[in-house]
Structure 1
Amino acid sequence: MDKKKVAVPLVCHGHSRPVVDLFYSPITPDGFFLISASKDSTPMLRNGETGDWIGTFEGHKGAVWSCCLDRNALRAASGSADFSAKLWDALTGDELHSFEHKHIVRACAFSEDTHLLLTGGVEKILRIFDLNRPDAPPREVDNSPGSVRTVSWIHSDQTILSSCTDIGGVRLWDVRSGKIVQTLETKSPVTSAEFSEDGRYITTADGSTVKFWDANHFGLVKSYNMPCNVESASLEPKIGNKFIAGGEDMWVHIFDFHTGEEIGCNKGHHGPVHCVRFCPGGESYASGSEDGTIRIWQTPSSNNEHDTSLANGPIANVKVAADEVSHKIEGFHLAQEGKTGEKEKAAAAADV
């Protein structure tokens, strides 16, 4: 690792409490977008490449634990400590529907075809909502062995992946039968689970270990011990030769996928790192922290790859100019600064 090079991230302010989840949209005709979940109760939408703030989704009355965008970045979803999951119009910021639950919602995910929304939380129930009939009762799968921490769809929406806050392992559910068909065993609870863009790997973080599983045969491919307890990990989506991890030491570590050797370490956060994610093109990645900030870092080049250094400004060769996403900003409900105190009280009351 070349200690002379110091990574200078784009620092995204706006949240008043810890950032606990990040999600990048796929690349759309308007570029790609980044949504963040925070204990301040207000998910935020940003330009995924520049980090520029686009808008804030207002309506939750408790900490927001999870957030996601559909494949076209036209709708957003969020899960909250206020016992609800909400569906949003990502162009205007309007709340399209609120799905009520009986306890805290910790995780949410759109199906690949964007017609379904999956939620999970403290109730130990996976719920599948039909977004074409949002008022219809959801399908419920209620055999989760613990409080649900993460959920995602894989295998063209035929399989659901979930992990729990209080017990180890990742469970794979057959959507048709609603039964667990496979469990990927881990010693500690899995706090982050990611399905790779090429469909080959499931990346998990549990305790001080990052593991890579074969996403089709479910065998363990690689397991690496981390320098500290990590809460989140993400595999570079295009080449797949490096991965990132962040956790309690407040740093974002970069590792070689094939050897597990640490090839970089980004310092800058002032609190534990709760979430890390690569952007869809792999040229940068974002981290969210207890300090309330999001930082977007340039992926280090290797093997004489062309250098698109951040230096002290935005990523070079930005594909999405401000005017190209202006239609997303126009009409978006902007947060009112005067509401900050009310939001803090509401978030604190429902924070768990």
Structure 2
Amino acid sequence: MDKKKVAVPLVCHGHSRPVVDLFYSPVTPDGFFLISASKDSSPMLRNGETGDWVGTFEGHKGAVWSCCLDTNALRAASGSADFSAKLWDALTGDELHSFEHKHIVRACTFSEDTHLLLTGGVEKILRIFDLNRPDAPPREVDNSPGSIRTVAWLHSDQTILSSCTEIGGVRLWDVRSGKIVQTLETNSPVTSAEVSRDGRYITTADGSTVKFWDANHFGLVKSYDMPCNVESASLEPKFGNKFVAGGEDMWIRVFDFHTGEQTGCNKGHHGPVHCLRFSPEGESYASGSEDGTIRIWQMGPASHDENDSVPGNGTTGKVKVSADDIARKIEGFHITREGETTEKEIATDA
């Protein structure tokens, strides 16, 4: 019985440097997808269910700090230390546009309607790019009190959320006025901020605390002290009854949302955990680490039988991904010989 409780993750190799950001697409007709950002300068796209590598986006010249996919997983975006944010075709891997900045871009995200790209970074300026007119100058929202670490959209793209690298708190900006309308106070800088799928909660990680905020009235709903400094936290999207947190001690802990009781502890990474995100239906979650790997953990009863690794498949409404679907997604994806070699070498070394 004890063996059943040992979580056996899918381990995804390929990055040669620390993995610093993860993002799941919603469920699409081709399944769902996972994009990862790494200090190796090459964001990678994977099948979100199996972790299988789909392709690598090549073109950045510095560490990639942030990555995201649009609603249909047709386009990707990434923010980098090379002073740019890039827009990619997620079907072919081609670079569609490079948005130049004057300093490191730490965060980027698509608007809900997918027409806009929001970026932030060391310049302390939020930029909103119109993807229908990529050559047009962006709208700039400044007066951020510090270097921007995270960004997100709320309230049908009417509100922007941002946190800073050096100072605590989450700032909520009115998009129309460009002004800060609310600040959610925290003692330490917020390293992770996530808006729940139903739009009810904002999940933040700051220092050794995970907090849940009312995303509409901005009050603090719950605050839980963690056993160590945590860098990322994510709320289960379907039922909202569990959350995961990970950080400097290399372990990923599962907690009950209502009580804060720890219900699981997954070990396997060989470096601090930098990012955690639940899959769109909540049946699994992915973790990215200083050790350069991504691990995908199942939420249900752990099993060594591959066929049982995703519990409750018939009831989640999740679209199964066939080999043909993935072949269609990969077809035409630009992958260099060098990228293939790196993938194989790292997989062999492991």
Alpha carbons of 1:211 and 1:338: their partners in 2 closer, same or farther (altered >3 Å)? closer
TM-score if structure 2 supplies the norm length? Answer: 0.93
Offset of residue 334 of structure 1: 1.3
* One-letter amino acid of the structure 2 residue matched with residue 267 of structure 1: K
Distance (Å, rounded) in 2 between the aligned partners of 1:93 and 1:230:
33
Moved more, 204-213 or 2-11: 2-11
The whole-number CA distance in structure 2 between the counterparts of 1:321 and 1:183 is: 45
Q: How far apart are residue 339 of structure 1 and its match? A: 9.2
Q: Tell me the distance in 1 between the aligned counterparts of 2:20 and 2:224.
A: 23
Equivalences for residues 284-303 of structure 1 within 5 A: 284-300=284-300
CA distance in 2, matches of 1:58, 1:31: 24
Rounded Cα–Cα distance in structure 2 between residues aligned with 1:44 and 1:337: 14
C-alpha contact 1:252 1:267 (8 A) present in aligned 2? yes
Please name the residue that 1:222 is paired with.
222
1:46 is aligned to: 46
CA distance in 1, matches of 2:276, 2:332: 30
Equivalence for 2:322: 321
Q: TM-score, normalised by structure 1?
A: 0.92
Who is 1:234 aligned against?
Answer: 234
The Cα offsets for residues 199-241 of structure 1, whole Å up to 9 and x where unpaired, read as: 1100000000000000000000000000000000000000111
- Find the residue that maps to 1:66 and give its secondary structure: strand
Number of equivalenced pairs: 334
Deviation at 1:328, TM superposition (A): 1.2
Work out the CA distance in 2 between the residues paired with 1:249 and 1:229: 8
Please show how residues 26-41 of structure 1 align to structure 2 within 5 Å.
Answer: 26-41=26-41
Distance 1:262 1:3 in 2: 19
Distance 1:203 1:8 in 2: 26
Q: Cα deviation per residue 1:111-164 (whole Å; 9 max; x = unaligned)?
A: 000000000000000000000000000000011000000001010000000000
Q: CA deviation at 1:327?
A: 1.4
Identity among equivalent pairs (%): 87
Superposed structure 1 runs of 4+ greater than 3 Å apart: 1-4, 312-318, 338-341
Secondary structure of 1:72 counterpart: coil
Q: Within 5 A, what are the aligned runs for 1:155-170?
A: 155-170=155-170
The C-alpha deviation readout for 1:83-135, integer Å capped at 9, x for no partner, is 00000000000000000000000000000000000000000000000000000
- Please give the per-residue CA displacement for 1:147-183, whole angstroms capped at 9, x wherever unaligned: 0000010100000000000000000000000000000
Report matched runs for 1:177-196 at 5 Å: 177-196=177-196
- Residue 173 of structure 2: SS of its match in structure 1? strand
Corresponding residue number in structure 1 for 2:146: 146
CA–CA separation in structure 2 for the residues paired with 1:173 and 1:224: 26
Query: Deviations along 1:260-311, whole A, 9 cap, x unmatched?
Result: 01000000000000000000000000000000000000013xxxxxx5x452
Q: Is 1:8–1:312's contact at 8 Å kept on the other side of the alignment?
A: no
- C-alpha separation in 1, matches of 2:157 and 2:303: 37
**CA–CA distance in 1 between the matches of 2:262 and 2:144?**
35
Q: What amino acid sits opposite 2:165 in the alignment?
A: T
1:330 is aligned to 331
**Pair 1:311-2:304 in alignment:** yes
In 1, distance between residues paired with 2:340 and 2:146? Answer: 36
Asked if the contact 1:34/1:48 (under 8 Å) is kept, the reply is yes
SS at structure 2 position matched to 1:265: strand
CA distance in 2, matches of 1:36, 1:288: 8
Which structure 1 residue ranges, 5 or more long, are not aligned?
A: 301-306, 342-352
Q: In structure 1, the residue corresponding to 2:239 is in which secondary structure?
A: coil
Question: Following superposition of structure 1 onto structure 2, how do residues 195-274 of structure 1 map, counting pairs within 5 Å?
Answer: 195-274=195-274
CA–CA distance in 2 between the matches of 1:21 and 1:181?
27
Residues 6 and 68 (structure 1 numbering): CA distance in 2 closer, same or farther, change over 3 Å? same
Aligned residue for 2:347?
none
User: How big is the alpha-carbon RMSD for the aligned residues of Structure 1 and Structure 2?
Assistant: 1.7
Larger mean CA deviation between 324-333 and 99-108 belongs to 324-333
Partners of 2:212 and 2:82 in 1: how far apart?
Answer: 34
| Separation in structure 1 between the aligned mates of residue 303 and residue 56 of structure 2, nearest angstrom | 26
1: distance between equivalents of 2:81 and 2:157?
26
Partner Cα separation in structure 2 for residue 340 and residue 203 of structure 1: 38
Asked if the contact 2:15–2:293 (Cα under 8 Å) also holds between the matched residues in 1, the reply is: yes
In 1, are the aligned partners of 2:67 and 2:79 still within 8 Å (CA)? yes
Measure the CA separation in 1 of the matches of 2:99 and 2:169: 28
Q: What is the alpha-carbon distance in structure 1 between the residues aligned to residue 159 and residue 336 of structure 2? A: 37
Contact 2:55 2:333 in 1 (8 A): yes
Q: 1:55–1:335: 8 Å Cα contact kept in structure 2? A: no
2:125 aligned residue: 125
Shift in Å, 1:325: 2.1
Task: Determine the C-alpha separation between the residues in 1 that align with 2:305 and 2:104.
Answer: 40
Paired amino acid for 2:304? A
